[in-house]
Amino acid sequence: MTALPAPVQALLVIDVQSAFVTGKNAVPDAPRLLDRVTDLVAGAREAGALVVHLQNDGPAGAPDEPHTPGWELHLPVRPCPAESVIRKEEDDGFEDTSLEDELTAAGVRAVAVCGMLSEMCVLATARRALELDFRVVLPHDAHATYDIPAAPGISEPVPAAMASRVAEWALGDAVEIVARAEDVVFTNTGTA
């Protein structure tokens, strides 16, 4: 974990969709995660930073199948130039989307990343942001995943918190991991 990070110009809210935070498919401790993500969104809005909600289009029959209740974004999106929704079909939020163009057009060079799932979409999007030379801040308490079931003959179950920490570790030294979402500071992009 690093010291308090320098301000960031954008918040990427990854796959905070109803299927993953409510009901039988909710990640463990979803209410805590929602509190942290809600605080991040509020902080970004207040500072005039760009807020991009990524929305996963899951396959037919998946909890996040497009246009089903589980697919809907759980947090409200403000209709303004500084807030947008980008749909995606891959773990990496940059792949086959307008995310890089949107960040570049707004002059963003530093992003905070939150949401789910830690070892899938959060990891893939943060890694790609690093590869594209964005500075990436990842608040430890603002991303989550599921418990990983046991794999007979391979491993015991892996608790969700441990899987999330491993995802952070897999990003290496280039990512700035902070303990708490409240430690992320946003700055204005001029798009508000």
Known catalytic residues are 121
Cis upstream peptide for 117 (omega within 30°): yes
Place of tokens 């500084």: 82
Residue 94: what residue type?
F
Helix, strand, coil percentages (3-state) for the chain, rounded to 5, are 35, 25, 40
Residue 99: what residue type?
L
Give the DSSP H/E element, type plus range, for residue 102.
Answer: helix 99-105
